[in-house]
Amino acid sequence: MPTALEVQALLKDLTSKGVGRQTSSPVDIDPATSKRVAAFQHDRGLPMTGVVDSLTWDRLVEGSWALGSRLLFCAKPFLRGEDVANLQVRLARLGFNPGRLDGIFGPKTEVALKEFQTNTGLEVTGVLSRRAFDEILRLSASTEDRTPVTALFDLGAEGIFGEILLGGFGSLATGLSQALALPLHQDHETLTSVAIANQVGLVLLFSPLDGIEGFHIHFWQGYLAKSQAGEELGRMLVAALEEQHIAVETTGMSLPVLRETPMTALVIEQGNLSEQEVHAVVTVFEEVLRQVIHR
C-alpha cells in the first residue's frame, strides 16, 4: 500500500503531465507512470487500467491525506481520505466501532471518536484535534495485531435480512427481475440512495461487459476490511455457477456502489450469454438467494 507521500508524488507527476480530474479527454502518460497508476488502482480495489479517470483521480487525492495533516470531523459532504481510514482502523482496534472502514467520516465515525474522547478524558467534540490525534497514536501503538471490532458486526453467518434491490442492464438483470417480480433500477447514480431509503438487505448491480467469458462477481473490500456477507454470497454463487460449467470469478473491490452502499452489495459483470445460459443462471441466482435472504 503506497504511503501518502508516495501518492502525493504521483499526483504531482500526473499534474505536471496535464492529468487531472477535469481532463476532458484521456491524456497519454508514459508507461512507467501508467504502471504506477495501475499499481495504485490494484491497491485501492479499482479496475487496473493504468488510465487516470475521474474515479482514480478522486482516490488519488484521498490517498494523499496522511493522518494528522488536517482536522477530521463530520462535515457535509463527508470528508474522505486515507487519513479517515487510518483513524477508523485505529478506533476499531481500540474497541470503538466507527462503522465500515471505508475512509468516509460519517456519523458512526463521529460517535466512535466521541466515545474515545470520553474514555480518555478529552474534550468530547467529535473532532480529531491535535491533542486527540496524539492520544490515539499513543494508545493505538500496541494494537496493530488486534482484530478491529467492526469484524464482529459483519459476519454474514446468519444470512441477509431485508428486500433485494436490483440495478443495471443486460439479459440476466432483466431475467432475474422478471423471475423475482422485482423492479429493475437502471440509474446507477441513485441506486445507493434508494437502497438506504428503503432499508434493503441486498443490492445486486448487473453490468454487461464485452471481452469477458462468464461472470466477474465483486464484493466490497476496502481498508483492511471487507464485506464478509458479500464475500460469502459471492462464494456461493461461484460454486453454483461452476456446477453449470459457467466460468466465474469473484474478487473484492472498492467500486463506488460497493463502497457507498452500507448493506451487502454485489456487482456482477456479465459476458455474452445464450438464451439457454441466461435461463440457467437466473435459476442459479434464485436458488442461492432463497438460501441467504431472510425477509
DSSP 170-202: SHHHHHHHHHHT--EE--HHHHHHHHHHHT-SE
Question: What whole-number distance in Å separates Cα of residue 133 and Cα of residue 135?
Answer: 5
pLDDT tens for 197-250 read: 888 999 999 998 887 888 999 999 988 788 988 999 999 999 999 998 888 999
Please list the ranges in the chain whose pLDDT falls under 70: 22-26, 153-159, 295
Question: What whole-number distance in Å separates Cα of residue 249 and Cα of residue 238?
Answer: 7
The per-residue pLDDT for 272 is 85
Question: What whole-number distance in Å separates Cα of residue 194 and Cα of residue 185?
Answer: 9
Q: Beta strands 215-222 and 264-270: pairing type?
A: antiparallel
CATH 2.130.10.30 is right for the domain spanning 79-153: no
Contact predicate 88/72, CB 8 Å: no
Question: What whole-number distance in Å separates Cα of residue 37 and Cα of residue 58?
Answer: 13
The per-residue pLDDT for 97 is 95
Which class is 160-294 in CATH? alpha beta
The per-residue pLDDT for 23 is 60
This prediction has a pTM of 0.88
The per-residue pLDDT for 157 is 44
Question: What whole-number distance in Å separates Cα of residue 97 and Cα of residue 89?
Answer: 9
Nearest to 250 by CA among 273, 226, 272, 274: 226
Question: Domain residues of the chain, as ranges?
Answer: 4-63, 79-153, 160-294
Q: Going along the chain, which residue ranges are E strands?
A: 79-80, 104-105, 160-161, 164-168, 184-185, 202-208, 215-222, 225-226, 248-253, 264-270, 293-294
Cell of residue 190, nine digits: 441513485
The per-residue pLDDT for 26 is 64
The per-residue pLDDT for 1 is 77
Helix (H) or strand (E) run with residue 140 in it? helix 130-140
To the nearest 10°, report the CA torsion of 14, 73, 97, 292. -60
